[in-house]
Amino acid sequence: EIVLTQSPGTLSLSPGERATLSCRASQSVSNSYLAWYQQKPGQAPRLLIYGASSRATGIPDRLSGSGSGTDFTLTISRLEPEDFAVYYCQQYGRSPPKTFGQGTKLEI
Amino acid sequence: EVQLVESGGGLVQPGGSLRLSCVASGFTFSSYSMSWVRQAPEKGLEWISYISSSSNTIFYADSVRGRFTISRDNAKNSLYLQMNSLRAEDTAVYYCARVSGVYYSPEDYWGQGTLVTVSS
């Protein structure tokens, strides 16, 4: 099973600033099968990024994903008030199980 | 618009059973694989099961294998999760989610979830 470790646990920033969230895998994630999700309180997760760097439908280009192998990053270039939430990375490789990181809380 | 609506959650005693349902609309349900993902209170996300579009391929997480059964009825646009031998640690919000492609694809649409509480 691939274990994903996200850092930091909590990130305190202000609107307009740049956010950098990290996701490290315990072994290489094949074909960059790595996704990022956003979850707000009381809501379901929302897919942001898949294939490590492809934006899902409707996701603004302020959000970008990068990385390969075992190290991945989600960057939000200019934080908007609606970006403050919890972010999870997920690996969805060919062999189950799919696994999630423990989450990074992005707070004001 | 893609919609997934879960139901069937509630309070159940340890050792008991519960059947969750998820009704899909806004897309051709029979063409998509589906997953169940759960989230314990104040905790992170845990993938627990996957079923292919034709039910030919099914996977489970170790934490639920042998106790939970995933199934679907494409004629009714419905996904199910039969949960037996429930434990306190199964307490969570259970989400159904559409898988965007084959198994090794992300979950691209999620329902709002249904809460399962296992307690005496």
Q: Give pLDDT tens digits for A40-91.
A: 999 999 999 999 999 999 999 999 999 999 999 999 999 999 999 999 999 9
Q: What is the 3-state secondary structure (H, E, C) of B6-55?
A: EECCEEECCCCCEEEEEEEECCCHHHCCEEEEEECCCCCEEEEEEECCCC
Q: Is B111 on the interface with A (CB under 8 A)?
A: yes
- Which element (helix H / strand E) includes A5? strand A4-7
pLDDT class for B102, splitting at 50, 70, 90? Answer: confident
Cβ within 8 Å of A, B 35-94: 35, 37, 44-47, 50, 59-62
pLDDT number for residue B70: 98
pLDDT class for A100, splitting at 50, 70, 90? Answer: very high
Nearest chain B CA: its distance from A44 CA (Å): 5
Cβ within 8 Å of A, B 83-102: 95, 100
Q: Are the Cβ atoms of B104 and A92 closer than 8 angstroms?
A: yes
Distances A106 to A3, A4, A45, A75, A89 between C-alpha atoms, Å? 21, 18, 15, 12, 14
pLDDT number for residue B45: 97
Res B101 pLDDT > 90: no
Res A32 pLDDT > 90: no
Task: Report the mean per-residue pLDDT for chain A.
Answer: 95
Tokens at residue B89, please?
Answer: 């640690």
Q: Are the Cβ atoms of B35 and A102 closer than 8 angstroms?
A: no
Cis peptide, bond prior to residue B14, ω within 30 of zero: no
pLDDT number for residue A78: 93
Burial of B107 (0-12, 13-18, 19+ CB in 10 A): buried
Tokens at residue A63, please?
Answer: 């959000």
CB contacts, 8 Å: B59 with chain A: 96-97
Task: Report the mean per-residue pLDDT for chain B.
Answer: 96
pLDDT class for A95, splitting at 50, 70, 90? Answer: confident
Tokens at residue B60, please?
Answer: 């489970």
pLDDT class for B8, splitting at 50, 70, 90? Answer: very high
CB contacts, 8 Å: A96 with chain B: 50, 59-61, 103
Distances A90 to A45, B10, B103 between C-alpha atoms, Å? 12, 28, 13
